[in-house]
Amino acid sequence: MRQFILIGATTLFVIGTSAALAQPTMLSPLLRFASERQQSIASFVTTLNLTPAQQAQARALQQSAKETRVDILLAATVAGEQVKRDLADPNADLHQTARLVQATVDTQLAAHRALTDERLRFYDNLSPSQQALVRAEIVERIERLERLQQVLLDFAGDGI
């Protein structure tokens, strides 16, 4: 269930980012969230006190996560452009459009699942004390995501 919430939040983030470019009041919280995330990751990796082998695995995982995020954002952008073209047609087939959106979400979900599997393999190779730090970091990330969700909900309440 938590994974579906995170995917929904990612989708909202993509949509919110598009809206933020048109709404300067929204851009600041999104930039703050991204900055906090980057600082948090750098700080967290240092806190884990990884062995050289774990550091190599962490770097590979970070690269994989970055590539996954880029792929997801690009797919969402392409799908969004296609949806807009489809909806501009007076004879638009909303069923076909919905299938396109669903296929995009399904692909995103599969990418998230694969990344989760990679992260779990990394977690399994950590010591018990490192695993405890990871669990605490996950809680912190969920709390940051909840703050972002609140910003998006507040923004959506303004008429989006």
Write down the pLDDT at residue 154: 81
In the structure, what pLDDT confidence band is assigned to residue 91 with cuts at 50, 70 and 90?
very high
Residue 31 pLDDT exceeds 90? no
With beta carbons less than 8 A apart as the criterion, state whether 40 and 140 touch.
yes
Residue linked to tokens 């950590």: 126
Q: What is the mean pLDDT of residues 127-145?
A: 93
Question: Global pTM?
Answer: 0.65
Residue 18 has pLDDT above 80, yes or no: no
Give the DSSP letter string of the chain.
-HHHHHHHHHHHHHHHHHHHHH-HHHHHHHHHHHHHHHHHHHHHHHHTT--HHHHHHHHHHHHHHHHHHHHHHHHHHHHHHHHHHHHHSTT--HHHHHHHHHHHHHHHHHHHHHHHHHHHHHHHTS-HHHHHHHHHHHHHHHHHHHHHHHHHHHHHTTT-
